[in-house]
Amino acid sequence: MANYFSHDSNARNDEKLIRLRMRHKAAGYGVYFMILERLREEKNYMSAKDYNMIAFDLREDASLIKSVVEDFGLFEFTDIDGKKFFYSESFLDRMSHKDELSRKRSEAGNESAAKRQQVLNICSEENQQVLNKCEDV
């Protein structure tokens, strides 16, 4: 199953993304969403600040990647154990909602499976009692 994340159908009208499109046109907009796709695949939805590696992956110039990440206020930055990372606060918020929904669905599925197993166990016990009675005859 493909990794999913929600995205507003009018995202292109966000002020930050308009500025991005003004400078880099549709290519910058595409790179922005490809970076979000990459973040979706990363642990904690953060990426190492390695523009050359990202540029290689996206088949784009590292200067474009750096500009998209740093010049429009679309991403936040942090240091973890001396390594630099970036992330999107709005993306983290969207993913936390998705992750919470997934967790609740998983719990509901586990509860449902436990109830089905309990019913199967009761039926199995009742069937065994009938078989035992038949053997006695």
pTM, rounded to two decimals: 0.70
Is the CB of residue 47 less than 8 Å from the CB of residue 39? yes
Length in residues, the chain: 137
Q: Per-residue pLDDT tens for 103-114?
A: 656 665 666 666
Longest dimension (CA), the chain: 89
Q: What's the pLDDT tens digit per position in 2-26? A: 675 667 677 888 999 999 999 999 9
Judged against a pLDDT cut of 80, whether residue 33 lies above it is answered with yes
